[in-house]
Amino acid sequence: MTVEAEAQPADTPDTPFHRIGGAPVFAAICNRFYDLMEQDPAYAELRAMHAPDLAPMRAALPKFLGGWAGGPRDWFEANPGRCMMSVHKSFAIDQAVAGQWAEAMRRAFADVAPEPADLAAAIGDILADLARGMGRE
Ligand code: HEM
What are the tens digits of pLDDT across the range 25-81? 999 999 999 999 999 999 999 999 999 999 999 999 999 999 999 999 999 999 999
What domain range is 30 assigned to? Answer: 19-134
Task: Tell which one of 34, 53, 57, 137 to mutate to probe ligand 1, the residue whose CB is within 8 A of the most ligand atoms.
Answer: 57
Task: Tell whether pTM > 0.85.
Answer: yes
Contacts made by residues 59-63, CB under 8 angstroms, sequence distance 24+: 61/30, 61/33, 61/34, 62/23, 62/26, 62/27, 62/29, 62/30
Q: Is the CB of 134 under 6 A from ligand 1?
A: yes
Q: Is the CB of 93 under 6 A from ligand 1?
A: yes
Contact 16, 69 (CB under 8 A): yes
Q: Is the CB of 14 under 6 A from ligand 1?
A: no
Res. 19: pLDDT tops 90? yes
What's the pLDDT score for residue 136? 85
Give the count of domains, the chain.
1
Q: Is residue 12 part of a domain?
A: no
Q: Is residue 52 part of a domain?
A: yes
Q: Is the CB of 50 under 6 A from ligand 1?
A: yes
What's the pLDDT score for residue 10? 61
Cis peptide before 62 (omega within 30 of 0): no
Q: Is residue 44 part of a domain?
A: yes
Q: Is residue 10 part of a domain?
A: no
Q: What are phi and psi of 50, to 5 degrees?
A: -90, 160
Q: What is the mean pLDDT of the chain?
A: 92
Q: Is residue 75 part of a domain?
A: yes
Which atom of ligand 1 is nearest to 133's Cα? 1
Q: Is residue 124 part of a domain?
A: yes
Res. 13: pLDDT tops 90? no
Q: Is residue 30 part of a domain?
A: yes
Q: Is the CB of 87 under 6 A from ligand 1?
A: yes
The CATH number of whichever domain residue 27 belongs to comes to 1.10.490.10
Q: Is residue 14 part of a domain?
A: no
Distance 96 CA to ligand 1 centre (A): 15
- Beta-carbon contacts of residue 101 (< 8 Å; ≥ 6 apart): 46, 131, 134
What's the pLDDT score for residue 1? 46
Q: Is the CB of 57 under 6 A from ligand 1?
A: yes
